[in-house]
Structure 1
């Protein structure tokens, strides 16, 4: 059993809840409304995450790599507006090489870390927008995915705090436990199952199972961001979101989940009709 939260942690938790109550409706409204609001939210979030990543990896300075990543993301936004997702991905690939070369020649910054910024931020943004753009399953699929990520966060926190136990990855994220991961999977699977019954999806148990797998994928994103922050001695990506840290801290699960779900839907030509 985990020890009770100190007053400082309780106050932080209250602030996290208040911030979530403000931000969650904005995200949901953008998803439901679709174009252009979904694109706008994802590109603006991407710009914020790119700024945070460049500062984390660049000794709290926003350098040439970050500026080039911003320019690329704006170009990606234009490409997806015209449904040219292929061009968006090509631009991300080309920008990765260009940023690495420029930062290396410039001699200021870390070219490897600076160049993968555009991949880490750009690919999930494109994937999320592409998933929502499907006229038949886009809305249901995106709501399912985002709900699974949120359920993962809630399940991981509640089970981890309540049960505690062995650490999942103590060198990367000392607060995460195996019980938290189990709770994340259970909560996400329960969400997927409940959602599928509500949406009258044809294969509810498969949807629930995929949501559980999504929880593991989302946790990989969480651990990935935690690794980068620990690598550079940073606690939070920024202080843009009170109680949560930065946008990267909130979108970490999406960084891995959106590309994974996008790849699944693409390979299976629409997700095997799972979402109706």
Structure 2
């Protein structure tokens, strides 16, 4: 299993980094759609693991929304006088509020599951609220200051990924060596409070890097945003675990050997990206 995970990372990581840094935003927006189509198909199994028609209906619905966004809000009209297009800003804001609601659902699971577990409509809506703001946030960050510095927005996207990777890595090692107190046993029995603390501590390495390369930033704000993004990523992971547990599914898919599905790799990002993007728009633009 470990060998498979390493091999998958070795071929996947260069593709991800290459797309983030070297694809123009207008192409990046279209390349993302097949990735999110796979994620939508996997979410469809949360809605009804036994009905392929339901899964494909959800996939087509999400795909049409993403295609419509690319057509009706093209990258070249995304920013006007330093202001983000209102449709994109509204979607990111809705995404932020969804993750607040999702956190409440996670904390109250399995009791909260009695409300939505048997509702295809609610689980479909939750899937759209998870995937679409993440898609919009990726394009928004990638497009920031693209006319001045084509790598600036890409660096922001990569920064969020670094925070998530640091939090995941720190949580893994701290949880294995120190973990005693369960974080959310009803949602994910293997996650611990010690793991969460280790993950948050590990993100301080990202803060050090940011302050080294951009010392003009306010340290307190950088630490606060990093920690908030890391906590959001943890609840993105827990949220997917909650929906998988409700559907009695171990992995969202099998497309990534050793890792599971696309959602298993981007679950933390689905929360971290909208939260970080909203904060960045509020405090830095």
Coarse TM-score class (shorter-chain normalised): 0.7 to 0.9
Counting only pairs closer than 5 Å after superposition, residues 1-276 of structure 1 correspond to structure 2 as 12-33=1-22, 34-60=24-50, 61=52, 62-82=55-75, 83-84=77-78, 85-87=85-87, 110-135=120-145, 137-204=152-219, 206-270=221-285
The answer to whether the Cα contact below 8 Å between 1:152 and 1:185 also exists between their aligned partners in 2 is yes
Normalised by the size of structure 2, how large is the TM-score? 0.77
The answer to whether the Cα contact below 8 Å between 2:187 and 2:245 also exists between their aligned partners in 1 is yes
Q: Provide Cα deviations, 1:6-62, integer angstroms capped at 9, x if missing partner.
A: xxxxxx222222212221221111111242453244322211111110122122422
Q: Provide Cα deviations, 1:230-253, integer angstroms capped at 9, x if missing partner.
A: 011000000011111111111111
Aligned residues: 245
Q: Secondary structure at the residue paired with 1:228? A: helix
Cα root mean square deviation, aligned: 2.5
CA gap 1:168/1:90 in 2 versus in 1, 3 angstroms: closer
**Contiguous gaps of at least 5 residues in structure 2:** 79-84, 95-118
The answer to whether the Cα contact below 8 Å between 2:37 and 2:59 also exists between their aligned partners in 1 is no
Instruction: Give the Cα–Cα distance (whole angstroms) in 1 for the partners of residues 277 and 177 of structure 2.
Output: 34
Q: Secondary structure at the residue paired with 1:235? A: coil
Normalised by the size of structure 1, how large is the TM-score? 0.80
Instruction: Give the Cα–Cα distance (whole angstroms) in 1 for the partners of residues 140 and 88 of structure 2.
Output: 11
CA gap 1:176/1:28 in 2 versus in 1, 3 angstroms: same
Instruction: Give the Cα–Cα distance (whole angstroms) in 1 for the partners of residues 200 and 280 of structure 2.
Output: 21
**Contiguous gaps of at least 5 residues in structure 1:** 1-11, 94-108, 271-276
Instruction: Give the Cα–Cα distance (whole angstroms) in 2 for the partners of residues 211 and 87 of structure 1.
Output: 26
Greater alpha carbon shift after TM alignment, 29-38 vs 185-194: 29-38
Q: Secondary structure at the residue paired with 2:25? A: coil
The higher-RCO structure (CA 8 Å, 6+ apart) is 2
1:173 deviation in Å?
A: 0.5
Q: Secondary structure at the residue paired with 1:174? A: strand
Q: Provide Cα deviations, 1:175-214, integer angstroms capped at 9, x if missing partner.
A: 1111110111011122222233134453345424422222
Q: Secondary structure at the residue paired with 1:175? A: strand
Greater alpha carbon shift after TM alignment, 197-206 vs 219-228: 197-206
The answer to whether the Cα contact below 8 Å between 1:73 and 1:122 also exists between their aligned partners in 2 is yes
Q: Secondary structure at the residue paired with 1:176? A: strand
1:117 deviation in Å?
A: 2.1
